[in-house]
Structure 1
Amino acid sequence: MTATDLSGNPRRFVLFTVFYNARAYYPVLAILFLDLGLTLDQFVMLNLIWAATIFLFEVPSGALADTIGRKRLLVASSVLMMVEMLCLLVAPRDGGAMLLVLCVVNRVCSGLSEACASGADEALAYDSLEETDRGERWDKLLATAMRWRSAGYVIAMILGGLIYDPAALNRILPAGAGISADIAHRLPVALVFCQAVACFLITLGMVEPPRHTTGTTCGDAVRLTLKTARWVFTNPKTLVVVVIGLGIDSIVRNFATITSSYYRLIDLPEWSYGFIGAAIGLLGWFVPSVAKSLNARYGTLANLGIAAGLSLLGLAALVPAWPIFGLLPATLLMTTLGLLGFTVSRTLHAEAASSERATVLSVKGLSFNLGYGLFSIAFSRLLAGFPDVPAGSALKSALFWQVPVFAILMAGLFTWACRLWKRMA
């Protein structure tokens, strides 16, 4: 019997994670929806729909990946990514109910796509590595993927910011070839649609690794889901990593989705958003090396503490909304997400069995998105509860109140985790 050739999977995993995650509309994500005619409250609530979709389908999709195959889920994820981009390409500006419906479909497809990809990509890549020193090989592959994803961000952020701003774009176009704001605002979305096509072609070329499965039906997937979720939340190490991780991720990632609104608050021009994202992407090239070194030197709980401390510092420094210098805390928060992701990923991979790997990662993803969704509700209520006169006042007030919430939450979680850690020793 000929052995399955899995040597191309790690390279395809790196390519997939770059094209899937480094999206050209990220530097203008919030204002993209606002300029289509939505309010900031509606945008935050759309993100709640996105998180709710992932909450419903994250773990079932991970269990399906562990039963019917990771490759099939990744192909489906790529198709859904194409559909979500098409919704934004055809959405009418100031289109009322039709605009809102298409944006909801976009968020649902985006959530389904994330759910299908979450866990399946890493699980397929991890099980494609040689078993000898697999943990060390995974650290190297994960660091490589994070670096190339950062390089992809640099390109995507610069292009996305430039082509979204019609004034900047028309300055470099030939005379008489100018484009309208409505067309310019669709260009980052069109570019991401092309990335979705690339993801589809990449996933078609992946090879499914041999796996020990407990079945091949949806019923088997449900049973695996329940079994794995029970294990994740009764294993003290995975419980601590997931709970503290979601506590940090929910608040920091919420800010990541509204960065373009924050940039407007600190009076930065739209054309600069892409360059800012590119600069953060360049810093992200070094984050995996730092994260790998910190995880080799310190324990899991210590690294989570470092991520929590940096996040608190960054959130507090956002509140004054300093012109230009307000970029520093925003950059700190974005890079801290990289450290958190590396720490959580390596810990869960080390603890999980191969036959349940994608399901374990999906349980993590579901938990993180549940936390993100709940905080999105709270943040949207904060925004709605404060007057926005002068413009930006509501956002400044909401940024202020999330700081004590985060501090109290982290103090409670780390007190609980330290006691649990001592009992494990």
Structure 2
Amino acid sequence: MYAYAFLEDFVLLYPVYALLFADAGLSPAEISSLFVLWSATAFVLELPSGLWADVFSRRLLLVVAPLPAGAGFVLWAFFPSYPVFAVGFVLWGAGSALRSGTMQALVYEELERVGAAGAYARVIGRSEAVSLLAVVAASVVASPVLAVGGYRALGVASAVVCVACAVAGWFLPEVRGPRGGGGGPSLRSVVRDGWVQVRREPGVRWALVLVVVLEGVASLDEYVPLLVRSTGVAVASVPLLVAVVTVGDAVGGWLAGRGVRWLSPVLVVGAVCLAVGALSGRAGGFVLVAVAFGVFRWAMAAADARLQERIGDGARATVTSVAGFGAETVAVLVYAGWALGSRWADAGVLMGAAAGAYAVVAFVLGVGARRGRVHREM
């Protein structure tokens, strides 16, 4: 699983694909429209992919998931144009949707099968840490490869990594196997099962909302480079400070599964660190920002584990995909709020204000715990 996580994000085109688009003559508006198409594809396929994962083999979906993106990267590198970039983003979004919810469901059920379900948060958190480190490694490797072979070399290398990721997926364990025939569940029965779980089980609803909010607000990480630039540091220093935050994020993932009973107070600490670090307006404040993002990564793994503990196996990937869909919706609201707020405030103020969302979540969790409701229902 860790190999799959690393290879999925060790894509050499990641750090420079925006430059590829610009060099191909695309305007900022055209590039933004590609991102919208990317998100729209994920929205459309998020829920169907969860259903497929509950009906058919989850391992098979994880094998297939990286391959569309790899094909798209090759198309980008050899036929750079707006229509081809659009096709590539549709392929990439489709592959991401196939993985979303599927990996979590497979990992939890296989751990549960061997009596180690309690290790889920730690395993998922560490896989996310590995993914983040893969992004850092890809950024380091991309520069010399680009200098030697240009965008075509990056595209081919990225496709090869995607194929290697698919091979790693083939070796993931799955006892349940294909479920499409021989008395397996139907799409209708999976939808009904998932709806019943969410509607009748308060614990599932609580955990679902917690995942949606924490993962959706985490989209703030897209604005970390803007936050760095707002401090007035030299352009050459921007990647270094972004890397500091990425490392903090990865550490939080690596520590996932520990001290989860302190979720509410630790979230308060993260919110304070984000607010103080962002509002400081200084490069040194990014140590606090890194701590904050580490806390949020740790909290997301804890919330994911709570959700998996409460979902029944029959619709596990479906309900998890609902959480992913909700998180994407919250992320869009975050993007819209940032765009609107940027008319009156700079990146530091906006990021500091966003810390309030985590403080609200911590408050709700704390109040619920004191009343005994969260422990009873979740």
- Compute the TM-score of the two structures, normalised by the length of structure 2: 0.79
2:356 to 403, 407, 413: 407
Work out whether 1:360 is the aligned partner of 2:342: no
Q: Distance in 2 between matches of 1:374 and 1:216?
A: 43
Q: Distance in 1 between matches of 2:119 and 2:194?
A: 25
Report the secondary structure of 2:120's partner residue: helix
Report the secondary structure of 1:325's partner residue: helix
Partner of 1:7: none
Aligned in 2, Cα 1:365/1:31: closer, same or farther, shift over 3 Å? same
Q: Distance in 2 between matches of 1:126 and 1:423?
A: 25
Partner of 2:190: 224
Amino acid in the other structure paired with 2:164? A
Partner of 2:163: 197
2:222 to 257, 272, 279: 257
The total of aligned residue pairs comes to 373
Aligned in 2, Cα 1:152/1:416: closer, same or farther, shift over 3 Å? closer
Amino acid in the other structure paired with 1:76? V
Partner of 2:43: 55
Amino acid in the other structure paired with 1:70? R
Aligned in 2, Cα 1:139/1:250: closer, same or farther, shift over 3 Å? closer
2:108 to 126, 133, 138: 126
Contact preservation (8 Å) 2:225, 2:242: no
Report the secondary structure of 1:371's partner residue: helix
Report the secondary structure of 2:315's partner residue: helix
1:112-142 CA-to-partner distances (Å, cap 9, x unmatched) read 1111011222322333346353213434533
Report the secondary structure of 1:293's partner residue: coil
1:246 to 212, 236, 247: 212
Q: Distance in 2 between matches of 1:36 and 1:257?
A: 23
1:384-399 matches, cutoff 5 A: 386=343, 397=346
2:257 to 284, 292, 295: 292
1:138 to 120, 145, 148: 120
Amino acid in the other structure paired with 1:59? L
1:42-79 CA-to-partner distances (Å, cap 9, x unmatched) read 55554443333222211211111111111221122111
Report the secondary structure of 1:292's partner residue: coil
Contact preservation (8 Å) 2:228, 2:242: no
Amino acid in the other structure paired with 1:77? A
Contact preservation (8 Å) 1:143, 1:288: yes
Q: Distance in 2 between matches of 1:25 and 1:326?
A: 30
Aligned in 2, Cα 1:409/1:128: closer, same or farther, shift over 3 Å? closer
User: Structure 2, unaligned stretches of length 5 or more?
Assistant: none
Partner of 1:10: none
Aligned-residue sequence identity (percent) comes to 17
CA RMSD of the aligned region, Å?
4.0
Partner of 1:314: 274
- Compute the TM-score of the two structures, normalised by the length of structure 1: 0.71
Aligned in 2, Cα 1:163/1:264: closer, same or farther, shift over 3 Å? farther
Partner of 1:344: 303
Amino acid in the other structure paired with 1:375? V
Report the secondary structure of 2:113's partner residue: coil
1:75 to 63, 74, 89: 63
Higher mean displacement: 243-252 or 217-226: 217-226
Contact preservation (8 Å) 2:267, 2:295: yes
